[in-house]
Amino acid sequence: MNTSESLTRRTMSTQPDFAQQRGRMITDQLQRRNITDPSVLAAMGHIPREQFVTRRYRRHAYSDSPLPIPEGQTISQPYIVAYMIESLHLEPQHRVLEVGTGSGYAAAILSQIVSHVYTIEWYPQLVQLAQKHFTLCGLTNITIKQGDGTLGWPEEAPFDAILVSAGGPKVPRPLLEQLVVGGRLVIPVGQEPGRQELLSVIRRDDTRFQHLNLGAVAFVPLRGVQGWGDEA
């Protein structure tokens, strides 16, 4: 065996087995914490999370923790992504709005469950990054744009469900108005950036909304006029 072949074999032997890690994530991080929705588990098992983290953190793609991405943002830990999406009670025919695309991982998971995902990201660099990830993964039922997600996407409303992946001081009124009756909004809300309660808001009729507390979470600040403003 020559030196080049030996180096190649050593390099291959040290590469992480991401498929195996993905399987362990499903059993150890999700199912053991009572994530039971078959569509959510299947989507989490199909989408390669390692494609949505930076190269520096790729070996940690399936760790039970959030990871840094550009612009000071994070990709949430796998369990939180699964928990939030399961809490939306999605159906295959649903159209979903996501606020806070980040690197695109949650939108990619959603795309495996519903008919179409509309996702809004504040940072232009992350819009480009997420679109690159969607293209590499062959995901064609996601529409992304740069903008203020706290205002929603009126041109495409109403939505069957809305997922907000950043924490704001209140539930943005435009998002409530863009839900169908019976639709659900899942959002972190708290008066301190980085410290929130995860809320599920169900639209009962034109004027009534039911709020459910899903537990304490910690998210990056929600940017926008209905969030922490331009300088959050």
Catalytic annotation, residues: 76
Question: Is the separation of the CB atoms in 79 and 35 below 8 Å?
Answer: yes
Helix or strand (DSSP H, E) at 82: helix 78-86
Going by their DSSP bridges, the two strands 159-164 and 142-146 should be labelled as unpaired
Question: Is the separation of the CB atoms in 96 and 162 below 8 Å?
Answer: yes
Distance, in Å, from the CA atom of 86 to the CA atom of 41, rounded to the nearest integer, reads 9
Q: Measured in whole angstroms, how far is the alpha carbon of residue 17 from the centre of its chain?
A: 23
